[in-house]
Chains A and B, each alone.
Chain A
Amino acid sequence: MKFSIERAVLLKAVAQAQSVVERRNTIPILANVLIEAEGDSVQFRATDLDIEVVDKASAMVERAGATTVAAVTLNEIVRKLPDGALVTLTEDGVKGRLTIEAGRSNFSLATLPKEDFPVMASSDYATNFAAPAPVLRRLFDKSKFAISTEETRYYLNGVYMHVATGEDGPALRCVATDGHRLARIDAALPDGASDMPGVIVPRKTVGELRKLLDDDDMQIAVSVSETKVRFATPNITLTSKVIDGTFPDYTRVIPQGNTRRLEVDASDFAKAVDRVATVSSERSRAVKLSLDEDRLVLSVNAPDSGAATEELAVAYDDERLEIGFNAKYLLEIASQVDRENAVFLFNSSGDPTLMREGNDTSAVYVVMPMRV
């Protein structure tokens, strides 16, 4: 195998590969990227056995062939090469070495046989549809903060992507929760998606997927089966197993009868929360919201370290209410609001609170209060 490729193109492909590769590996081949050169392009394939990324880049292929080398090392080398360099990768098959040449730099990396590289079995995808990159970006960006990291509730360690009936008809919906907060994001259902089985897309996949979604004009081909999900651009294909579990019935969790309405400028609110939370010990960052006629007082009282209060002018005309929240959660949901005011709907100080942007019900957040 021998091919030459532009440094920037190579870097993009290799960077994507090495982020999939697990840092601590007991199986050596899993630390490697499979490089396959044929025709006028080269494919870079990496996997952690749950996720597989295949990145195709155009190159001048002199001699077709395939091999595997350590993804992290290759990435480091390419990253350190000067911008604009032309990189030549050669593998003569006999010595078990891949040489990388650029200008006067010359590297030689140990290879492992391509036959040992585990290629993910293909799946029968029941559903195939196309979705614009910005739509997927919004669905996952606005929900991923609520993904649980608790391993015992593994079925919460991802975003539940499924078809649902939203306010404006059928929707492609993403839900994530860790039991303390929940995000429910809707988008118009793309053509061909109506039969999609609901799948829990793992946290790591969501992270990898994000790298495919930067280009606003891109259409992403989405394929879904009961066990796998695939996102593809013309050059990159991300295939992932989905979490084998049942996502809990989140609809029960979303309060329907909360009537006490608070409207506040999200950015002012977030800044105030951030300020008062400063005095609180890191472990129990509880912020108390005291609501009265068009007035919101945020306060933190940490016996060991100090106290803080801040008053905000808001729209609120219900009964007085005192309710506490984890400051981090308030900041996270407030930061999801980017266009209009944040609207909070409360019930009592012990019940889940709902938050949305203005009257837009296509992105709804639920947060559990804290005793203060």
Chain B
Amino acid sequence: MHDELWDLSIAHMDCDAFYASVEKRDNPELQDKPVIIGGGKRGVVSTACYIARIRGVRSAMPMFQALKLCPDAVVVRPRMDAYAEASRAVRALMDELTPQIEPLSLDEAFLDLTGTARLHGAPPAIMLARLVKRMKEELGLSGSIGLSHNKFLAKVASDLDKPRGFSVIGKAETVDFLKPKPVRLIWGIGPATQASLDKAGIHTIGDLHRWEKDQLTERFGQTGERLFHLARGEDFRRISPNAPVKSISKETTFFEDTSDPDVLDGHLWRLSEQVSARAKAKDKAGRVVTLKLKTKAFKTITKRQSLHQPTQMADTIYRVARSLYDAAGNTGPFRLIGVGISDLTAAQDADREGDLLDPDACRRANAERATDKIRAKFGTDAIKKGRALR
């Protein structure tokens, strides 16, 4: 048993292949089949279940490529409302453990269980084990837990033994654990930082230990200071459930740089749906839609559009993002694309006005809203799209 198991209290919970798990739960026939969420004409993998992952399918992979690797996969169109609903159910279970929860997206969250042992009569490790057990039994969803002494390490830990993992990183082994790991393990190190670290001869976290704090700061600015501390397993960020959400965004880095408008459009749609689902789960709507593109040369292009009224509709977010993309001109190939909403307001103020020039938009929004309402009242299964019943 781990020496510090009963003392650690910062956790990261990450659902396993969340979208795919929801689909398998709702349609038991899919249980033993490779399942890919995504597709349609948009043609990008959103999530793949573990069976499909064994065959090499990954998120953000073009669908044709995924199907080449896994021709017998069942492709399911994403039902973001169902995922948002499942996310709320998981959140309700977590709420019983601690009020200190910081959700990162629909399927993962940080939990701070410091000082809850007396309340629950059991240390955090036990409570977290019970949480994943209840998730499995009551919601039919599996999750992996990372338990450590700060957010950075908790998140790293939850990824160590997926799926259905429970990993612990104690204070004693933190440095030895980190040293041989590649620097990209550190949160926030993208390809650009990676490239400049490579240039400095920094490949592993251990390499960072050879640098003084001043040297890192001089060379990498603020990131340098962060790297210095994170390399030593020091992360001073607190779990802040009430930190006001300023924006909601999703981005994806491609396997291969692309300038194919169809592929990019597919990603835009998928990301818009995810942003919308998160906005709905948080009861937020955004007044500004942002499109982010990163070119092959690591140049970041950001375009934003203020909306006439706040929105949380996937359809609206997608349409605005798409027009921003069109206006940006195709200056690809791109290595990353992202969609976000900001200038957030309460959901009640959102999408209240229709568009004279697009009467269908109103109908689509009404349908989306009606579905959400019925599901909220009678559960996720109350309404299913025709294809889910086949």
In the assembly, what is the distance between CA of A324 and CA of B354, in Å? 12
Are B354 and A368 in touch, CB under 8 angstroms? yes
> In the complex, what residues of A have CB within 8 A of residue B354's CB?
350, 368-369
Whether B352 and A152, one on each chain, are in contact in the complex, defined by CB atoms closer than 8 angstroms, is: no
B357 touches A253 (CB 8 A): yes
Interface status of B362 (Cβ within 8 A of chain A)? yes
Given the known interface contacts A152-B324, A370-B352, the answer about A283 and B345 at a Cβ–Cβ threshold of 8 Å is yes
- Asked if B63 CB lies within 8 Å of chain A CBs, one says no
Q: How far does the Cβ of A222 sit from chain B's closest Cβ, in whole Å?
A: 27
Q: Does B355 contact A (CB under 8 A)?
A: yes
How large, as a class, is the contact surface on chain A? 20 to 34
Q: Is residue A217 within 8 Å, beta carbon to beta carbon, of the partner chain?
A: no
Given A151-B305, A284-B349, check contact A366 B324 (CB 8 Å): no
- A178 in contact with B308 (CB, 8 Å): yes
- Residue from A152, A177, A283, A284 in contact with B357 in the complex, judged by beta carbons closer than 8 Å: A177
Main secondary structure on B side of the interface with A: mixed
Which one of A151, A283, A324, A350 lies within 8 Å of B349 (CB-CB)? A283
- Assess whether B355 is in contact with A180, with CB atoms less than 8 Å apart: yes
Please measure, in the bound complex, the distance between the C-alpha atom of A21 and the C-alpha atom of B310, giving whole angstroms: 34
- A182 contacts which chain B residues (CB < 8 A)? 356
Any chain B CB within 8 A of the CB of A67?
Answer: no
A269-286 to B contact mask, C-beta < 8 Å, 1/0 = 000000000000001101
The reply to whether B349 and A152 form a contact with Cβ atoms under 8 Å apart is no
| Closest CB in chain B relative to A346 CB, distance in Å | 15
CA–CA, A153 and B357, complex, Å: 11
Residue contact A284 to B352, C-beta cutoff 8 Å: yes
Q: Chain B contacts of A177 at CB under 8 A? A: 356-357
A283-B353 Cα distance, complex, nearest whole Å = 13
Residues of A within 8 A of B353 (CB): 180, 326, 368-371
Bound complex: CA of A371 vs CA of B327, how far in Å? 31
CA distance A179 to B359 in the complex (A): 10
Contact partner of A150 (CB less than 8 A), chosen from B305, B310, B356, is: B305
Does any Cβ of B come within 8 Å of A352's Cβ? yes
Contact B356 A152 (CB under 8 A): no
Q: From the candidates B305, B320, B324, B352, name the one contacting A371 in the complex (CB within 8 A).
A: B352
A248 within 8 A of B: yes
In the complex, B32 has a CB within 8 A of chain A: no
- Chain B min CB distance to A152 (Å): 4
Contacts of B362 in A (CB 8 A): 350
B345's nearest neighbour on chain A, judged by CB, is A283
Q: Name the residue on A nearest B308 (C-beta).
A: A180
Q: Mark A174-196, 1 if CB is under 8 A from B, else 0.
A: 00011111100000000000000
- B3 within 8 A of partner (CB): no
Contact with B along A137-153 (1 / 0, CB 8 A): 00000000000001111
Interface flags, A353-372, vs B, CB<8A=1, else 0:
00000000000001011111
| Given A180-B308, A286-B352, A371-B352, A151 and B357 contact (CB-CB distance below 8 Å) | no
User: Which B residues are in CB contact (< 8 Å) with A366?
Assistant: 356
Contact A179 B352 (CB under 8 A): no
B331 touches A (CB below 8 Å): no
Alpha-carbon distance between A286 and B348 when the two chains are bound, in angstroms: 12
A370: chain B residues at CB < 8 Å are 352-353
B137 at the interface (CB under 8 A from A): no
B323 interface contact, C-beta 8 A: yes
**B96 contacts chain A at the CB level, 8 A cutoff:** no
B358 at the binding interface (Cβ < 8 Å)? yes
Could you tell me the distance between the alpha carbons of A276 and B110 in the complex, rounded to whole angstroms?
A: 45
B307 to A, closest residue via Cβ:
A150
Contact of B308 among A150, A151, A253, A372 (CB under 8 A): A150
CB-CB < 8 A to B351: which residues of A?
371
A248 to B349: give the CA distance in the assembly, Å. 28
Q: Is the CB of B352 within 8 A of A248?
A: no
Among B305, B327, B357, contact of A179 (Cβ-Cβ < 8 Å) = B357
A306 to B308, CA, bound (A): 24
Those of A14-29 within 8 Å (CB) of chain B: none
A177, A179, A182, A369: residue with the most chain B Cβ atoms closer than 10 Å:
A179
> What residues of chain B lie closer than 8 Å to A371, measured between beta carbons?
351-353
- Chain A: CB-nearest residue to B287: A283
Bound-state CA distance A151–B355 (Å) is 16
Cβ contacts under 8 Å, B308 to chain A: 150, 178-180
Give the interface centre of A283, A326, A350, A372 by most chain B CB atoms within 10 Å: A283
Q: Which residues of A contact B352 (CB under 8 A)?
A: 284, 286, 324, 370-372
Interface string of B318-343 (1 = CB under 8 A from A): 00100110010000000000000000
Known contacts A153-B323, A284-B349, A371-B353; 10 further A-B pairs (Cβ under 8 A): A150-B305, A152-B327, A179-B355, A179-B356, A181-B356, A283-B349, A350-B362, A368-B356, A370-B352, A371-B351
8 smallest CB-CB distances across A and B, nearest first, come from: A152-B323, A284-B349, A371-B352, A179-B355, A370-B352, A370-B353, A253-B356, A179-B357
User: Which residues of B come within 8 Å of A, CB atoms?
Assistant: 305, 308-310, 320, 323-324, 327, 345, 349, 351-358, 362, 366
Question: Would you give 29 A-B contacts (Cβ < 8 Å), ordered by A?
Answer: A150-B308, A151-B327, A152-B305, A152-B320, A152-B324, A153-B323, A177-B356, A177-B357, A178-B308, A179-B308, A179-B356, A179-B357, A180-B356, A253-B357, A283-B310, A283-B349, A284-B352, A286-B352, A324-B352, A326-B353, A350-B354, A350-B366, A352-B356, A366-B356, A368-B354, A369-B353, A369-B354, A371-B351, A371-B353
